[in-house]
Amino acid sequence: MFKKKNLVVLSGSGISAESGISTFRGGNGLWDNVPVEEICTPEGWRRDPAKVLGFYNKLRKQLGEKQPNAAHEIVAELESLYEVCVITQNVDNLHERAGSSRVLHLHGELTKVRPEDCYTHSDGFSTKYVQDIGYRAVEMGETGGPRNRQLRPHIVWFGEAVPNLEKAAQLVSVADVLVIVGTSLQVYPAASLYGYAPPQCKLFLIDPDDRLGGHIPGVTFINDVATAGMRRLKEEFLQNL
């Protein structure tokens, strides 16, 4: 019986940019418009939680108005050819909405919240009190969890551990094919994940910045935006079946 090979897709904000979702870095990126320390750190949360909630409420509303693009859809379609697992640095849900069945979020999920004192080292990264709220806003005074604490975005902020990193490294370590798309490979520790790929793994990097072509030894570089690059990659996969 034919056994599908393992395909791991490591995606970043560039794959969602063509859906109209702002990247965090680059021209007019989110971090260019709002200081990262104010809305993406535990210190910012403690200093002004209302401001942080307002920022993520706005992003959540915008996400509800966006749709997956061809790159997300092609990743989902590849499940007919491979055992596909998506490891995404994105906090949007466009991979899931496009039809991908296995998505691991490294940096959290915008449509989810949790009590501010949960999902920490002290509780063993418990997800028991994580709530899926869709695209609605969260207000100050809205609480949940065993200690009835203020709900916060289910986002991994700077200065916090990345709970799913070990699971992601394990997935990459058994990959037959690794596709990196939409990420500048500047955000660590996620940017180091390709280093866990086994020697026989085929590596592909899709990015419009031609300066990234020589970043990874042995990689096949597709110098294009995510949608066009994924179309080219799918054609290559079909030709080599």
Question: What is the SS3 assignment for 228-241?
Answer: HHHHHHHHHHHHCC
Average pLDDT over residues 184-202: 87
Co-location of 38 and 118 in the same domain? yes
Domain count, the chain: 2
Alpha-carbon span 37 to 141, nearest angstrom: 23
Residue where one domain finishes, among candidates 120, 155, 190: 155
* Position 176 pLDDT exceeds 90: yes
pTM of the model: 0.92
Co-location of 142 and 167 in the same domain? no
Query: Which domain covers residue 93, as residue numbers?
Result: 1-20+68-107+162-241
**Per residue in 30-42, pLDDT tens?**
555 678 899 999 9
Alpha-carbon span 131 to 145, nearest angstrom: 10
**Per residue in 117-164, pLDDT tens?**
888 766 666 788 899 999 999 999 999 887 789 999 999 999 998 989
Co-location of 213 and 121 in the same domain? no
Co-location of 5 and 27 in the same domain? no
Co-location of 9 and 98 in the same domain? yes
Which CATH number covers residue 115? 3.30.1600.10
Co-location of 121 and 197 in the same domain? no
CB 221 within 8 A of CB 236: no
CB 136 within 8 A of CB 60: yes
Co-location of 190 and 215 in the same domain? yes
Catalytic residue numbers, as ranges:
107
Co-location of 143 and 90 in the same domain? no
Q: How many CB atoms lie within 10 A of CB 61?
A: 12
